[in-house]
Structure 1
């Protein structure tokens, strides 16, 4: 006998209660994918509750059983049989809300949230926590609950705490004093759960099994189809033959679900793809006759024909519309599809011309490109795009309506002035997705109108000032610097900017060779982008800035600007700074220059900002040499403690000269990973049979490796690859400009999905992909990732800091030249392979019967 009822988080946590996660449950394993989905749900709910304070959002079930332990009177104890990941995440979120509100809204919020929802005050220590996680997670969880310096470490619990801290910092609008309070209320009173409580003697495992044994379910498209034809008892056969079957012929299976979602988003941009069937059914329930249902199927069929054009732009007859569809399709942002469907539907109904539709799409393309150039490629992009159709003005021509909507509010549609400033300083190469960066450079090249055809698929992005410096390049760049400038900071501020980037088919040949050598190769190129570089006598800061300025003028001409009413968003870079600082793990540090290079400014403004404005973890920002800045002061004038003491308590190591350990430093590229401005690039499976003339990626990898690292390192890597395949692994190769090699332990066809421990880059890095491993069993268990880190740290000259266990750190391929080090690495890789292949998807949580 079980009791099931709907509840909210406040009811679950208030009062003297304790929820114990049994030892047989798996450790906490939510990644940023699940955290982001939950956060987006909460933000949407908080907005909904402004209009309807009773609005709720269902987030699943929680299965509880009475604890077999006998606790003190007055404390209700439960075992969490199912739902522990969800419950743990919500309490971590409450810790983050507590700490954010205590810091920015007043200290009284700390005790209020802490004592009501996180602990049972005045109880014995064994009863103090309202949620008791598994033993493996307990230390990290306690650090969050008790706000110790170790809170927010590199483990999954610390990552969740840092994630929510960063999101709260980004969401806190100084002009809205109630925004965080609304988020707290949404969490406590708006998230609905079904609490299933077993009684003493119930078979809890059978309950658990029934909840999780889902079997093969019908898709949402199947459910909607069945519902529609259930409503067509006499017309069903005809409607299916004339309307539904042709629709299925036009669109593949997944695209049908996409169509039904797009139809809903036209009316309500908040609808999720997971809710398609329920939302469509609720809408269709209002229809009464077969004729009305048939009309809906006919409308779906007509919209399906338009979606077919969006997915296959070559079928569009108008050349202007076709070009814009092809470009937006190549950009790869599916949340623009509701707008595209609306635009094509407007043209179909005669309320917009092809010229207006193409113009509207051009504004959207410009919106994407300009956001990428100023480093805001992903900020709130989905929410913005899904709201265009319902919020843009119906009074204006459709293209002007799209432009006006994108120009209002904080949508980061960059003005000409913002673009001109950003191209000099924003690390273009670290922002957005790799194919989008290449598209911008490709479209710039096309704008020159060269008559010589260039195949885009053969081109890759090249850093002219290379990512690995040689003495020649150091000497050239040093000549541009003043006596007080830091060389490393000046280099980081230039290397990834668009002024230093071009397209070339000679990537492996160019590498980090001198400018004189590169110049000769670029002169032979048919690309106008390269010919301009080849005409320069040298390549330093002056030339990079001059090229950036020239590209900026071309950009503002090619891609139209927002309206004059568009706000300047000068505070955007500080919001990004606060976000990445909130994500910095305990036990790590970064520099003023690293942050400046990421957000597109100089180290001095970063220091000035931190000295005058509150920012998360500001004490973790040090000078490039690892020293605390001589003029460092706490914003709180009453604080006089040495920041090194706090950093030491968090796990940062200092030498006898007071310099922080460089191995624990989070550099610019790793900051980009933390901030999410550089999405994780996954390896692409190459076809077994390549068409004649297609690129041999394996051969290109070896070619690039030998050209950039020399035959000695190339041979050592080849030995490692041979040993990996001998033990049973396979090799996959990336298709980007630098051809990376992935050591695959499982393929994507495996029941648990693909997994790889590392990627090897010809530029010289053996990259350990902890970020990827955190979502792949069995390495979703942090104890295994930690063992891998410690094993690798046994290699000479390898020192991967604990704080980087959520990132993609690496070490030099030169380590592999030493035979003993290479053999040790192979032992560790063999251990990884055994761990990755020894488990099965049939792993089940063993829940004992409580009879």
Structure 2
């Protein structure tokens, strides 16, 4: 017997109470996606309560069981049977609100919120906490509860705290003294929960099991099909044979779900893919007759045929439309599908021509390319694309409507001047997805119209000025240095820009070779991009900038710019820097030069920005040697503490000369990961091969590896891969231009989902995917990720800093050529595989 009652966070937390997460529960595991959904609910509720103070928002249930130790008085203890992720997130949010208000408004908020909602002030020890997480989470949770320097670390609890702290800082309007108070009120009294309390003596573990005992679930497509044919008692068999079976033969189950989502997005771009069935059912419930339901199935069938063409452009009859579909398909952004479906639907309905559809798709391609070039490939891209159909002008021809919509507002459809400025300075190689960067270079090469056939799909990106600097290259850069500029900063500012990049056919001779050696090799190439570089006598800043200028003009000529209504958005992207610094974990640091290279400016403007604007974690920015800048000062004029003391408290190690440990430095490439300009790299499932082309990705991986790293590294890597298979693991290969290899310990069919410890890249990196492991059982437990890091750091030449446990760090594949290191790595991989094989009953599902 259970008792259920609607309550609020105030009702749950006020009074002398304690909520204990049982040992069998999973550790705290919410990701930023879930935190963002909670924050958006809170933010919107706070706005709604301005006009309607009594507004509430339901966020789910909480299943509790009273502790057998409870007496008639004193501390009331409850076990959290279901809902611990939600409850933990809310208390972490309260900690962040408390700290923000105490710092920016009045210190009294600290004691007020602690005494009312976060602690039992008259209890001692652990009984003082309102919430007692599992042991693995307690240190991180208590750091937030006590506002210690360790709060906001790289563990999931710390990430949640830092996320909410950043959101509060962004939401705090200096001209609105009540905005954070409204957010607090919304959290405490506006979020509604149903509290379900079991009775004493109930088996809480069995309750937990029943709540999470999920078998093979029907897909949303299955549910919608069942609903439709439930509404067709008479015509069902006929409709199924005539319409549904052909539709089902054209599209896979996942593609059917995509179709139903695209249909909804045409009318409401806010519809989530997780809400397909509910939203379609709501729409279909308005229909009354079988004829109306049959008409809907017929409409789905017609749209399904159009989606089939989008997914398989080779089936399109018009060659110009086919080419544009192929290029957008290669780009790999599925959120463009609603617009493509709309364009093809308009053509079929006679309200658009093939020429207009082709022109509209070229504007979309130009939009993608120009955003990538200026370092804004991912900024709000999904929201923009999903809104085109509903917001563009229906009175204009469809291509003009698309062009006009993409050109106005802050959509980063870069003007010609923005392109010219960005190509010189933005780290092109770190922005967007790797295959998109490669595509643009391939399309640039195609634009030269060379008569010599070159297999462009087999080429990878080459840094002419290499990523790892050598004495010869430092000498090459030295004559171009400005006042007070060092070679390291110049190298970082140039190495990832478009002017320094080209395409190579896996020539291992290039690598870190000097320019005279590279010049000879590039001169032998049939690629025009390489021949232009080979024509240069040297390769320093002037030459890289001159090539950047030439490429900018070619980009401008190939990919149409926005309308004249577009505004120049070539300002320094300080928001990208702020995002990277906000995500910079405790126990790490970065440099002015690293940040400058990330956003395409110079170290001096970065220093000036940090000195004069509120920027998160500015104290974690040091000089390249790891020392505090002599000109560093806190933004608060009353603050005089030594930033080194704070950094030490956060976990940064300093040597006797007050230089921070370089192993804890977060460089430009990792800053790009933190800022989100380099999206996550995930295992790609092999697509349905074309009838005329089947690719052996394993062979291509080995071919690229041997060409780029040489036979010794390739052989050592092959030994590791074969041993991984002998352990019981499998290999999954990426399908992009650089064929990556994922060491899979579980695949997606496993009841706990897929998991892999590392990705191997032919370009020379053994990447450890801590970032992905943090949301995959059992490695959501930060203790396991820490153990993996400690194990790998035993290998010679490997030193992964603790702060990088939230990233995707790695080490060079050359480490594997040492037989002892290789054997030790295999021992650690075997340990990982064993951990990944825990039965589902031992690794309980997140609640």
TM (norm. structure 2) is 0.91
Q: Is the 8 A contact 2:16 2:75 kept in 1?
A: yes
Q: How many angstroms does 1:574 deviate by?
A: 1.0
The aligned counterpart of 1:534 is 534
Q: 1:103 to 1:503 in 2, by over 3 A?
A: farther
| Other structure's SS at 2:508 match | helix
The aligned counterpart of 1:365 is 365
The aligned counterpart of 2:525 is 525
Q: How many angstroms does 1:416 deviate by?
A: 1.8
The aligned counterpart of 1:587 is 587
Q: How many angstroms does 1:337 deviate by?
A: 1.5
The aligned counterpart of 1:843 is 842
Q: How many angstroms does 1:710 deviate by?
A: 6.2
Q: 1:572 to 1:190 in 2, by over 3 A?
A: farther
Once the two structures are superposed, residues 750-782 of structure 1 have per-residue CA deviations (whole angstroms, 9 ceiling, x without a partner) of 554444333445555443322232233332221
The aligned counterpart of 2:406 is 406
The aligned counterpart of 1:219 is 219
Q: How many angstroms does 1:486 deviate by?
A: 1.7
Which 10-residue stretch deviates more, 240-249 or 331-340?
240-249
The aligned counterpart of 1:601 is 601
Q: Is the 8 A contact 1:445 1:529 kept in 2?
A: yes
Q: 1:768 to 1:249 in 2, by over 3 A?
A: closer
Once the two structures are superposed, residues 655-680 of structure 1 have per-residue CA deviations (whole angstroms, 9 ceiling, x without a partner) of 11111111111111111122222223
The aligned counterpart of 2:470 is 470
1:12-91 superposed matches below 5 A? 12-14=12-14, 16-32=16-32, 34-35=34-35, 38=38, 59-70=59-70, 73=73, 76-91=76-91
1:374-523 superposed matches below 5 A? 374-482=374-482, 484-523=484-523
Aligned counterparts of 1:668 and 1:190: Cα–Cα separation in 2: 42
Q: 1:644 to 1:816 in 2, by over 3 A?
A: same
Q: 1:463 to 1:112 in 2, by over 3 A?
A: farther
Q: 1:63 to 1:515 in 2, by over 3 A?
A: same
The aligned counterpart of 2:575 is 575
Q: Is the 8 A contact 2:93 2:164 kept in 1?
A: yes
Once the two structures are superposed, residues 511-564 of structure 1 have per-residue CA deviations (whole angstroms, 9 ceiling, x without a partner) of 222222322332232322222112112212111111111111111222222233
Q: How many angstroms does 1:804 deviate by?
A: 1.0
Once the two structures are superposed, residues 796-819 of structure 1 have per-residue CA deviations (whole angstroms, 9 ceiling, x without a partner) of 443322111111223345555555
Aligned counterparts of 1:715 and 1:309: Cα–Cα separation in 2: 43
The aligned counterpart of 2:776 is 776
1:110-509 superposed matches below 5 A? 116-121=116-121, 124-166=124-166, 193-482=193-482, 484-509=484-509
Aligned counterparts of 2:553 and 2:475: Cα–Cα separation in 1: 30
| Other structure's SS at 1:281 match | helix
| Other structure's SS at 1:274 match | helix
| Equivalenced residues, count | 846
Which 10-residue stretch deviates more, 366-375 or 188-197?
188-197
Q: 1:714 to 1:447 in 2, by over 3 A?
A: closer
Q: Is the 8 A contact 1:724 1:743 kept in 2?
A: yes
| Other structure's SS at 2:767 match | strand
| Other structure's SS at 2:624 match | coil
Q: 1:172 to 1:319 in 2, by over 3 A?
A: farther
Q: 1:363 to 1:308 in 2, by over 3 A?
A: same
Q: How many angstroms does 1:401 deviate by?
A: 2.4
Which stretches in structure 1 are left out of the alignment for 5+ residues? none
Which 10-residue stretch deviates more, 465-474 or 713-722?
713-722
Aligned counterparts of 1:740 and 1:63: Cα–Cα separation in 2: 44
Q: 1:123 to 1:641 in 2, by over 3 A?
A: same
Which stretches in structure 2 are left out of the alignment for 5+ residues? none
Q: How many angstroms does 1:832 deviate by?
A: 2.9
Aligned counterparts of 2:635 and 2:383: Cα–Cα separation in 1: 35
Q: Is the 8 A contact 1:260 1:276 kept in 2?
A: yes
Q: How many angstroms does 1:9 deviate by?
A: 4.5
| Other structure's SS at 1:244 match | helix
RMSD over aligned CA atoms reads 3.4
| Other structure's SS at 1:19 match | strand
Q: 1:468 to 1:147 in 2, by over 3 A?
A: same
Q: How many angstroms does 1:92 deviate by?
A: 2.5
| Other structure's SS at 1:811 match | strand
Which 10-residue stretch deviates more, 319-328 or 600-609?
319-328
Aligned counterparts of 2:90 and 2:712: Cα–Cα separation in 1: 52
Q: Is the 8 A contact 1:746 1:836 kept in 2?
A: yes
Q: Is the 8 A contact 2:70 2:76 kept in 1?
A: no
Which 10-residue stretch deviates more, 96-105 or 378-387?
96-105
TM (norm. structure 1) is 0.90
Q: 1:460 to 1:105 in 2, by over 3 A?
A: farther
Aligned counterparts of 1:455 and 1:163: Cα–Cα separation in 2: 45
| Other structure's SS at 1:81 match | strand
Q: How many angstroms does 1:410 deviate by?
A: 2.3
| Other structure's SS at 2:409 match | coil
Q: 1:495 to 1:138 in 2, by over 3 A?
A: same
| Other structure's SS at 1:805 match | helix
Q: Is the 8 A contact 2:68 2:200 kept in 1?
A: no
